[in-house]
Amino acid sequence: MSKIKTLGEFIIENQSSFPYSTGELSKLLNSLRLAAKMVNHEVNKAGLVDIIGGAGDVNAQGEDQQKLDVFANDKFIQAITNRDIACGIVSEEVDDFIAISGSNESNNGKYVVLMDPLDGSSNIDVNASVGTIFSVFRRITPVGTPVELKDFLQPGKDQIAAGYVIYGTSTMLVYSTGDGVNGFTLNPAIGSFYLSHPDIKIPKTGNIYSVNEGNYTHFPQGVKKYIKYCQQEEDERPYTSRYIGSLVSDFHRNMLKGGIYLYPNSTKNKEGKLRLLYEANPMAYITEQAGGKAISSNQRILDIVPSNIHQRIPFYCGSTEMIEKLESFLKN
């Protein structure tokens, strides 16, 4: 019987598959793992301590912050900063990028991290799943110099790692460093993540579509027609509609079972709602590494060159055949 690997063991054993492997990326992934365990511990206490509900403030996008948003943001920033590996952070909860100086006040970190510390945080109050999303790039500017905006405004195809944590009936950390996708489940009794979902592949097609149909009347015509296609009684349809309101949760289900996730632009959100750098890019990276497809209207997500750190875009991802069918409706 083969030994079940912990996340730490897996990272060490697979360092050679990391781009630019120096051991530092491993340390960065370990810092994300540590922060995820701290957030998981706090999520599990929701309802027992004063951690649910609004924080009485708004984030960089003018959205109401939940108390757990603030907690998760602080813990991930602290864990990343303490390792002296990253030179900068972009967070959904902070208006500008955060420059990190090392212990000797220099900027020797090789990586920048972009994150949504707690995706779907409004679900906490009703005990539904939430998540964390992260993306890692190598900096463009020389090591030792101050981090700059251009270090963060890189196309998603240049990511060297991306992943998410889902806090649900069990807590899982799913990530890729460009060599496939692997999922690790937290054993709460001993506080370790174990490899539970090796080499995840998205089915080529599925029967689930995930979209907020309450906004149907505001969607582009091509998206409306595709949704009607999903609902028709023909062939393997109608598809099943499943939507939680947490990108991580909806994405995770579709990746394992096969399906499509849609968050279009609309008359209410003309540029789209999801953020390119720390929501669409990392999820598109995971999607492609698992054999799926991710697009924004008429182009590949990972080819988009960002213009600002909180840029919003339309976002569609999932099983390849389902995305290609959507593309045919969008083109027409």
Beta-carbon contacts of residue 146 (< 8 Å; ≥ 6 apart)? 99, 107
120 among annotated binding-site residues: yes
Q: What is the per-residue burial (b if ≥16 Cβ within 10 Å, else e) of 46-73?
A: beeeebbeebeeebbeeeebbbbbbbbb
- Per the annotation, does 262 bind a ligand? yes
Spatial distance between the Cα atoms of 83 and 125, rounded to a whole number of angstroms: 32
Q: What's the half-sphere exposure (Cβ side, CA atoms, 13 Å) at 83? A: 28
279 is in an annotated binding site: yes
At 73 the three-state DSSP class reads helix
Please report the DSSP string for 216-233 in residue order.
GGGS-HHHHHHHHHHHS-
Residue 150 annotated as lining a ligand binding site: no
92 is in an annotated binding site: yes
| 212 annotated among ligand-binding-site residues | yes
Residue 164 marked ligand-binding: no
122 is in an annotated binding site: yes
Angle ∠(84,282,3) on CA atoms, nearest 5? 75
| Coil, strand or helix at 160 | coil
Determine whether the annotation assigns residue 67 to a binding site: no
- Report whether 20 belongs to an annotated binding site: no
239 marked among binding-site residues: no
Distance in angstroms (rounded) separating the CA atoms of residues 81 and 169: 30
Distance (Å, whole) CA 197 – CA 213 = 31
Task: Return the C-alpha torsion angle 291, 297, 303, 308, nearest 10.
Answer: -130
Euclidean distance between CA atoms 282 and 234, whole angstroms: 34
Bridge partners of residue 208, in order along the sequence: 240
Residue 97 in tokens: 């990028």
For residue 118, say whether it is annotated as part of any ligand binding site.
Answer: yes
Annotated binding-site positions: 92, 116, 118-122, 212, 243, 261-263, 273, 279
Annotated binding-site positions for substrate: 119-122, 212, 243, 261-263, 273
Annotated binding-site positions for Mg(2+): 92, 116, 118-119, 279
